[in-house]
Amino acid sequence: MTLNIRIIAPDRTVWDANAQEVILPSSTGQLGILKGHIPLLTAIDIGVMRVRIDKEWQPIILLGGFAEVKDNNITILVNGAEEISNIDINTAQANLEEATKFLEEAQTDKDKIEAAQNLRKARAKIQAANVLNS
C-alpha cells in the first residue's frame, strides 16, 4: 500500500500520484509521512517537498499552503508549486546571490517581504538541485 499525494495550486493540479514516502516543508520543520500516519493538518512553508517513488526521490518546490494527511491520502493546497526535473546549479546560485542582494537593498516593508520570499524560493531551488544530484 502507498500514499496518494495530491498537490493543488489555485490554477491547476500540480501532482496526483502514489508514493512510498513524503517529506514536507512544514512551518515547524521537515515532516516525514509514511503509510499509516495519523491524521494531521499542518501549514506548509516555502521549501522543497521530497517524494519517494520506489527508490527515486523527486523534489517539488512548494510556495506555502496547507497539507492534510488522512487515511494514506495527502492533500496539499498551495499558493504555487514547481516540479523540478533538472536545475542548472550555476543559474540557481546566481539567482540566490541576486535575491540576497535585493533583500539587503530593500527599503520599504513591501520590498523587504517580497525580497525575503524570493530569497526563500532561491534557497529552495538550491535544495532541490541537491536532491536531484544526490
**First-residue to last-residue Cα distance in the chain:** 26
The strand pair at 40-53 and 29-34 is best described as unpaired
- Domain co-membership, 72 together with 29: yes
- Domain co-membership, 47 together with 104: no
- Domain co-membership, 109 together with 127: yes
pLDDT tens digits for range 48-102: 999 999 888 889 999 899 999 999 999 999 998 887 766 777 777 888 888 888 8
Q: Would you state the pLDDT for residue 86?
A: 64
- The count of domains in the chain is 2
- Domain co-membership, 72 together with 101: no
For residue 32, the enclosing domain spans 3-83
Residue 1 pLDDT greater than 70, yes or no = no
Mean of per-residue pLDDT scores for the chain: 88
Is pTM beyond 0.75? Reply is yes
Cell of 9: 495550486
